[in-house]
Amino acid sequence: MRRLCLMILSVCMLVLSGCATIDSDVHINRDGSGTWDATVSSQSGPLEKKMITDTLANNNVQNYTLKAPNAEGKMTTVEDSDTTARKVWKVETKFANGTELEQIRNAITARFSGTSKEPALQKTADDAFIIDLGKAAGQTKITVDGDIIKESVQDGALNGNTVTFPPNSKIHFTFKPSHSWLLYVGIILGIIIIGGIGYNFYLRRKYYGDAA
């Protein structure tokens, strides 16, 4: 436990002192699931792999892939047996709901800026989502499957359905999920069925009318 605390503290000190950054690329689907890819870059020396994995485990983040640059600079998956310390790490995570998103948020941001008191993802009465990911530990780009409410974006730069937050800014905004394609398919099928019934009724009236 003491070793874990020292590792987390070391990463915290690196980020807070400006010797490391954590840039993130987050995608949130209309149902609250999504992905969060974080790139940890150290300017003061290599970071131990255990610093990354223990911080994730301490926050119950399980569905992730750990990558690092190979000799050609391409990000490749790091094998479990590989304990090499590196200056750059990439953590690719997936979340299925707000609870899992909150666990990732706490692993990536809370250790450096304090735990946010707000839920990471909160659904409103009108089916919108309020997103609160704490303070950005680096540049954080978030893309959503829906429409971002412009007035809700305070510290970020909005571009369509993507908002980018600079380091140390508060990540907080609201978006309305897009409609499922199944809804549109249902509407189209309904129109076709109603049209078919109406056309069949028209033909029957025309046939019996001519027969008379």
Q: What is the pLDDT of residue 170?
A: 92
For residue 40, what pLDDT band results from cuts at 50, 70 and 90? very high
Q: What pTM, to 2 d.p., does this model score?
A: 0.76
Tokens found for residue 209 = 């009318």
Per residue in 163-194, pLDDT (tens digit) is 999 998 999 999 999 875 544 444 555 566 66
For residue 5, pLDDT beyond 80: no
Q: Is residue 2 part of a domain?
A: no
With a pLDDT cut of 90, the percent of the chain lying above it is: 54
Per-residue model confidence as pLDDT tens digits over 87-130: 999 999 999 999 999 999 988 875 555 567 789 999 999 999 99
Q: Are 200 and 146 within one domain?
A: no
Q: Do residues 21 and 41 touch, judged by C-beta distance below 8 A? A: yes
What is the residue range of 152's domain? 17-177
Residues 156 and 192 in one domain: no
* Assigned domain for 114 exists: yes
Q: What is the residue-averaged pLDDT of the chain?
A: 82
Rounded to whole angstroms, the Cα distance separating 171 from 110 reads 12
pLDDT value for 189 = 58
| pLDDT band per the 50, 70, 90 thresholds, residue 69 | very high
Q: Does residue 146 surpass a pLDDT of 70?
A: yes
Residue type, 205: R
The pair of structure tokens assigned to 128 is 């919108």
Residues 101 and 137 in one domain: yes
Q: Phi, psi at residue 103, to the nearest 5°?
A: -65, -40
Asked if residue 139 and residue 206 are part of one domain, the reply reads no
Backbone angles phi, psi at 70, to 5 degrees: -90, -170
The DSSP H or E segment spanning 113 is: helix 111-113
| Residue 32 buriedness (CB in 10 A; 0-12 / 13-18 / 19+) | buried
Are residues 171 and 186 part of one domain? no
